Structure formats: structure tokens, C-alpha cells
Amino acid sequence: MRKPKSDIKSNTALYETQALIKPTGFREYDARWWFGHPESDKPSEINLYGIQTLGASLGTLIHELGIEPKIVVGHDYRSYSLSIKQALIVGLMSAGIEVSDIGLALSPTAYFAQFALDVPCVAMVTASHNTNGWTGVKMGVEKPLTFGPVEMSRLKEIALSGKTVTRSGGGYKFIDDVATLYMRDLAANIKIKRKLKVVAACGNGTAGYFAPHVLDKIGVEVIPVQCDLDHNFPNYNPNPEDMKMLHAMRDAVMRYGADLAVGFDGDGDRCGVVDNEGEEIFADKVGVMLARDLSAEFPNAQFVADVKSTGLYATDPVLMANGAKTDYWKTGHSYIKRRSKEIGALVGFEKSGHYFFNAPIGRGYDDGILSAIAILQMLDRNPDKSMADLRRALPKTWGSPTMSPYCADETKYGVVDKVIEEYQQAFKNGDKLLGQSIRDINTVNGVRVTLEDGTWGLVRASSNTPNLVVVVESPTSEENKTGMFREIEARLAKYEEIGEYDQKI
């Protein structure tokens, strides 16, 4: 196969005859590219021949790793995802892979299918929470894990060098009813006894086909909000960290007098929550609630949390009394999933809303609907408490949303390396921030700087988009939370590579 090119323009003959792949689309643990949108003049980063090359490269890697050459493939609900998937399948078959196509799916549906069909590999076509115009593929060859940097680097090398290997033995079959099996599996043996009214918000994304049905089957009253599938996403982008979605969830809770709202992202592997008082609860705080509840049932439980998450996992007195321990690890679904399996964690939590339930609760992959079920079971076990009561029972902290200043993929890691060096030098010099000494520097993923009073700030490179990620939290005051952000904001302002923030505090 010829080497793909990185600079082919759309609407040209070359675009229709050669593979286009921008190298930066191979990210730390996903593949993600701008495919194009009619309302945007941003040039495409990949074309269908490029996707075909990706499939052939993945097939080549599967053989290289000595994995049984069988794969589950699904796609999310975007206007172009089916064509992306079909191009991917052509490439996989050319490399000698037997493809089981499960059709329209959530990412956790595809992960479930690996177990249900006893197929070792998975390729889920989805841009997750990214806006329309983006596409991507989540991949794995060892259930329930997905690719990390090692596998992605090798995949990139194969694809960009044109070193795919054509093999016989490829095949295709469409598997009916995996969606039904998946929903039946989620609801099996679960019955919520408490009378609960639940808003299910899906942003017209793929989860609208799944979530309301499952929640209804476990015995709660479901109020669907934007659950009709519409790949134009006419109301808001399905992303439970996006304020538009959270405001829609809040409005629905207040309008219908619901006990809570659960919101799902574009591929259904994340869950966001708004409580009965209409207040958003950041997913890391919901995770602390779940950890409290589960550690009472499973004493001395081990958890994993990503570096964006609240410090309460380490300091909450209830978790400490239950003997729970939490390991702070790299942000990213592949990282937390793998780390949770490695250290035998009961659950892994991400601030973004990815939760990874291991046995006996789940199979280790992230599933937004399973997360919603776990939250409802928590409420069922606490019949005299509302979601707001459980929120108020947590030690008070002041935290920010995830803020994402623009920084190009080509430069973002270099910028973060410089910021890490700055903070490490400040720590070494004994510099004061907000009038306090630096207590700890965690560089497992970017840099998380913790001050004497527990106030902390994080700067890291986004794994999926051309952005940095900034999060701050203080256990002592709103003032210190804001002060920590201002400190980071001023430090980042020195770098001309950094552009506008999507939101600030």
C-alpha cells in the first residue's frame, strides 16, 4: 500500500484516489481526526481511503501481535459514521481480519460484544463528545482494555509508512440484536425499589436509542430529554461536561420535579449528573459518593481516580474510615481502565464521567448507563436521602469545571513540558503561591500542583483535541480556588501558542 499523504485538499481528484491521514490524529489512546463539516472551511485531516488504510494497519497490527484475527466493529450516530465504518471494514478485511459488524452502537455496546460474541478485538467508530465534523476510532485487542501509547505508536508507524500487509482470510458478517442483548444484560437482576423520577438527557446522540429503555426496565420513571436521534445535534452537543447540556438537564429536573438527571455523551461511555435541586455535581464528586457507598459494602476497597479529580478521594473521612484507598493516575479512559485492572481496583473514576466498574459490578470497561444504574442503586440503598443530601454530606470543596484553552496538537505537549519545568523549579526554590508553600508536585500526567492547605491546580495536554486542560480546586475557599486559576492563567499567558479558553472562572 502506498504511503498516505498529509496535505491532500478536499474536492480534488487526488482526494478521491489517495489516502489522506494527518499524523496528529494518532493520539495517546484514540485515533481522532477532523473529517469535515459543510459549515466549516477547516481542511479535512483524513479521507475514506485514509480510514481504509487505518483499518488495514489495525489488521496488520493484530496479526503482528499474534491475536486471533477477529474483531467487533460498531458506529455512533453521526451522518458520516456508517461510511467511515465501512471504509474501516474494507481495510480490516484486506488485512485478513474477520469482521463482526454490530451496527449502530455505543462504545460500551461494542465492548460488551467482545464478551458476548467471544471476539478478542474491537474498533468503535466514534468521535465521542467532539462536535460534528470529527471522527475517530477506539480500538483494543485485549478485553476490556483499549489501546495505549505503545499500541497507538506502532499503529501510526504502520499506517504512515505504508507497511500494511495484505492477507487472505478476511470476512464480514452482520450480527443482529447485539443492542438488545446489551440492554438486557444491563437490566438483568436489577430492580430499583425506591420510587424515582429520572431525567435521561442524550443530546440527540446515540445514547437516546439505549438509555431510556434500560432505565425503564430497572423500574424508574424515565423522563426522556432530547432522546430522539438527530445527527445534527440541534439542541446541544451531547457532552455531560458542556454547560448547555447541564443547563438543559437542570431545567428538566426543575420542570418535572425529578429526583435527578443523568446525561450521556455521544458514544454513551460517560455519565453526568444534576441533582434534585437542579445543581450539577461534577463527576468526580459523584465518584466520591459512589466510593463511600461501595466501600461500605466492600471494606478496604481500592479505587483509581484521574489527576483531574477532587482531592477528596484521599482525604474524605468516610472513605478513610472504610479503609478505602485511591491511586491518582493519568487522565484518559485507556489509562484508568488499564490501571484499575492492574491494581485490582473495584472502580476507576474520571472527572470527565468515565467510570470503570470491575467485578462483581461490571466487566472493567466504561459504560455511562451502568454508571447511571450504580447511582440509582446508591439512592435505593439510601431511601431517606436525596441526591442533594448526598452531595451536601461531602466535605465542602470549591472546584472548577474542566477548562480547555486552545493549543495546537503539534505544540501542546512541548508547552506542557515547559510548564512542568516552571513548577518544578518553583517547588525546588521554595516559591510561595497564594502566600503558601507548594506541598506536592504530581507529574504523572501534566503537572498537578498542591499547596499547603490542599488547594491544587492541574495543567495537562488534552489527549483528544488541540487543547490544554486546566482544573483547580480548593478545600478551603472560593477565593483560593479562583486564586489558583489566576496563577495558572497568568503563567500560561506567557506562551503565544495558547489561544482562547472555552470557559473561565
- Domain extent listing, the chain: 14-176, 181-278, 281-365, 398-492
Residues 6+ apart with CB under 8 A from 12: none
Per DSSP, what are the bridge partners of residue 263? 201, 272
Answer whether 264's CB lies under 8 Å from 270's CB.
Answer: yes
- For residue 236, the SS3 value is coil
Q: Rounded to an integer, what distance in angstroms lies between the CA atom of residue 360 and that of residue 335?
A: 21
Q: Rounded to an integer, what distance in angstroms lies between the CA atom of residue 235 and that of residue 226?
A: 8
Answer whether 78's CB lies under 8 Å from 104's CB.
Answer: no
In this structure, are strands 134-140 and 171-174 parallel, antiparallel, or unpaired?
Answer: unpaired
Query: Which amino acid is residue 101, in one-letter code?
Result: D
pLDDT tens across the length of the chain (505 residues): 789 999 999 999 999 999 999 999 999 899 999 999 888 889 999 999 999 999 999 999 999 999 999 999 999 999 999 999 999 999 999 999 999 999 999 999 999 999 999 999 999 999 998 889 999 999 999 999 999 999 999 999 999 999 999 999 999 999 999 999 999 999 999 999 999 999 999 999 999 999 999 999 999 999 999 999 999 999 999 999 888 999 999 999 999 999 999 999 999 999 999 999 999 998 999 999 999 999 999 999 999 999 999 999 988 999 999 999 999 999 989 999 999 999 999 999 998 899 999 999 999 999 999 999 999 999 999 999 999 999 999 999 999 988 999 999 999 999 999 999 999 999 999 999 999 999 999 999 999 999 999 999 999 999 878 999 999 999 999 999 999 999 999 999 999 999 999 989 8
Would residue 128 show up in a list of annotated catalytic residues for this protein?
yes
Q: Rounded to an integer, what distance in angstroms lies between the CA atom of residue 346 and that of residue 361?
A: 8
In this structure, are strands 134-140 and 31-34 parallel, antiparallel, or unpaired?
Answer: antiparallel
Q: Rounded to an integer, what distance in angstroms lies between the CA atom of residue 302 and that of residue 474?
A: 24
The architecture CATH gives domain 398-492: 2-Layer Sandwich (3.30)
User: Domain 14-176, what fold?
Assistant: Alpha-D-Glucose-1,6-Bisphosphate; Chain A, domain 3 (3.40.120)
φ and ψ at residue 126, rounded to 5 degrees:
-165, 145
User: Domain 281-365, what fold?
Assistant: Alpha-D-Glucose-1,6-Bisphosphate; Chain A, domain 3 (3.40.120)
181-278 and 398-492 have identical folds: no
Q: Rounded to an integer, what distance in angstroms lies between the CA atom of residue 353 and that of residue 465?
A: 17
How wide is the angle at C-alpha 175 spanned by C-alphas 266 and 333, nearest 5°? 35
Q: Rounded to an integer, what distance in angstroms lies between the CA atom of residue 217 and that of residue 213?
A: 6
Residues 6+ apart with CB under 8 A from 348: 303, 304, 305, 329, 336, 337, 339, 340, 354, 355, 356
Helix H or strand E segment including 266 = none
Residue with cell 485492572: 341
- 81 class by beta-carbon count within 10 Å (0-12 exposed, 13-18 middle, 19+ buried): buried
Answer whether 238's CB lies under 8 Å from 175's CB.
Answer: no
Catalytic residue among 44, 81, 94, 128: 128
Per DSSP, what are the bridge partners of residue 121? 71
Answer whether 70's CB lies under 8 Å from 121's CB.
Answer: yes
The architecture CATH gives domain 181-278: 3-Layer(aba) Sandwich (3.40)
